[in-house]
Amino acid sequence: MDAPVPGPTATAVGLEMFHRVGEPFDHFDDCLGFLRERQVRSADPRVNGGWSTNTSLGHPVMEATGWVAYAIGTARTGLIADGPDARAAYAWLVNNQNTDGGWGSLAGCPSRVWLTCLGLRALYQLNPYAAAITTGLEWLMAARSESGGWGETPGRSPTVTHTSFALVTILELRPQWNDTRTLPAFEWLTAHLDTTRLDDRDARVESYNTSVLDESSTPVVWQTIMPHYGLAFAASALLRHPRGAPAELITGAFETITSGQLPSGAWPNVHGGSGESIWSVAPFVSALCDLRRVSPAMPSDHILWSPSLVVIQRADAGDQSLTAIIRAQRRSRFARAFGRHWSVALLSLSALLGILLVGLDRFSWQDFTLGLVLPLGLFVTEHYRNRRTT
């Protein structure tokens, strides 16, 4: 992830990225062999078939197993003899589901929103008819806050990151839930998303301890730290908005994503350091792929075809003519332009009026100069603010 030592999670995420983009990968077979080698074998059904992270002391956990199972499921490698055992991975996911329906790092650990989403997405790729999916979705829907969003765990304040990942998960598994079951969460997301930041101020890093008993019944504890890039997940979620992708938020989000990419191809480290990680690539690649392949048209929208143009008219705008909609968009663009450059207009107008009044001997040049102090000060202030915003 952020170290040269290979691990199952990074390998699975890397494979999934190549598969999602549709690019061939020369080391595909090597990666499958590595994942097969790292898959845990045990007589204990709660251990057998999972994968450990490089920091979980050999214990298979959802943080690794969820990503690997999702990758081998999407890549359809279940019948490859030298690949990981997909049936054993599926059994691990089912056996480590908590009785409440959610997932923690492993069975018995408190259920968490992020890990439950990982478990659901992985299960769906391996067996979309699994009964565990229904109970997992029930837990996830019950874990929402009163405001409609999701936090790290039930009862925690909602974050853009967890709300977005939950929405992407739900609509991947249940596309027909584009109604009151997801609309409150989308409303919360659109109200709280900051499209000028790659990360989420409230969930830049998710950190928690995991405790298990070893063979001698001695407690073993390790810390899990997961970096999150909230804007990438939010962009993917908003592309699936039941009422159509909100154009201004989508535009702002992808402008920030594309302009934030570093020359190396990665994006800035969420920790603020100079190191790069696969986590600072994968979420953005996923969001950009979604932009390319997720249709902006909703089932109830009207699609107007012409030889060189396709127009999607939202269902809730069906009582308006196309001409009226285009005029409204032009007016809104003018209003946005004026809102951004009002100080330039004020300074220009003040200068023109001042020159005119001086020419008519109504103002002296001294009065003209003093009259420009306030507009010039507002112009400098607004110009500085716009530069900082950009």
The 10s digit of each residue's pLDDT in 15-68 is: 999 999 999 999 999 999 999 999 999 999 999 999 999 889 899 999 999 999
Percent of the chain whose predicted confidence (pLDDT) is above 70 = 90
pLDDT tens per residue, range 344-363: 777 778 888 878 887 887 77
Are 260 and 329 found together in one domain? Answer: no
- Residue 54 CA to chain centroid, in angstroms? 25
Residue 254 to residue 195: CA distance in whole angstroms: 8
The yes-or-no verdict on residue 195 having pLDDT over 80 is: yes
Which domain range does residue 135 map to? 8-302
User: Sign of torsion, CA 349 352 354 357?
Assistant: negative
Within-domain flag for 189: yes
The yes-or-no verdict on residue 371 having pLDDT over 80 is: no
| pLDDT for position 32 | 95
247 vs 337, more confident: 247
Percent of the chain whose predicted confidence (pLDDT) is above 90 = 62
Give 26's Cβ-side CA count (13 Å radius): 0
pLDDT-based confidence at residue 390 (cuts at 50, 70, 90): very low
| pLDDT for position 157 | 95
Within-domain flag for 309: no
Mean pLDDT of 93-105: 98
Within-domain flag for 314: no
Are 197 and 249 found together in one domain? Answer: yes
Task: Name the E strands within the chain.
Answer: 205-213, 219-227, 302-306, 309-313
325 vs 74, more confident: 74
Are 382 and 280 found together in one domain? Answer: no
| pLDDT for position 277 | 85
Are 69 and 185 found together in one domain? Answer: yes
Within-domain flag for 2: no
Are 279 and 356 found together in one domain? Answer: no
The yes-or-no verdict on residue 282 having pLDDT over 90 is: yes
What is the rounded (10 degree) CA torsion for 82, 83, 86, 88? Answer: 60
Those residues with Cβ within 8 angstroms of residue 5's Cβ, 6 or more apart along the chain or in another chain: 54
The yes-or-no verdict on residue 373 having pLDDT over 90 is: no
Helices (H), 127-193: 131-142, 160-173, 183-192
Q: Indicate the number of domains in the chain.
A: 2
Residue 233 to residue 237: CA distance in whole angstroms: 6
Mean pLDDT of 286-290: 96
Within-domain flag for 315: no
Mean pLDDT of 324-328: 66
Within-domain flag for 311: no
Within-domain flag for 73: yes
Are 219 and 329 found together in one domain? Answer: no
Average pLDDT score over the chain:
88
pLDDT tens per residue, range 126-180: 999 999 999 999 999 999 999 999 999 999 999 999 999 999 999 999 999 988 9
The yes-or-no verdict on residue 5 having pLDDT over 90 is: no
Which residues pair with residue 206 across a beta bridge? 226
| pLDDT for position 319 | 67
Choose the final residue of a domain: 274, 302, 330: 302
Within-domain flag for 3: no
pLDDT tens per residue, range 229-251: 999 999 999 999 998 889 899 99
The yes-or-no verdict on residue 334 having pLDDT over 80 is: no
Are 331 and 256 found together in one domain? Answer: no
Are 251 and 368 found together in one domain? Answer: no
Are 197 and 92 found together in one domain? Answer: yes
**Cα dist from 349 to 24, 342, 372, 374, 381, whole Å:** 59, 10, 10, 13, 18
Are 333 and 214 found together in one domain? Answer: no
Are 297 and 350 found together in one domain? Answer: no
Are 190 and 117 found together in one domain? Answer: yes
| pLDDT for position 267 | 94
| pLDDT for position 358 | 76
| pLDDT for position 3 | 64
Choose the final residue of a domain: 302, 337, 363: 302
Coil vs helix vs strand at 20: helix
122 vs 382, more confident: 122
What is the rounded (10 degree) CA torsion for 98, 104, 105, 108? Answer: -40
Predicted TM-score (pTM) of this structure: 0.79
The yes-or-no verdict on residue 336 having pLDDT over 70 is: no
Q: What is the CATH number of the domain that holds 285?
A: 1.50.10.20
Which of 151-160, 187-196, 274-283, 374-383 shows the lowest per-residue confidence on average (mean pLDDT)? 374-383
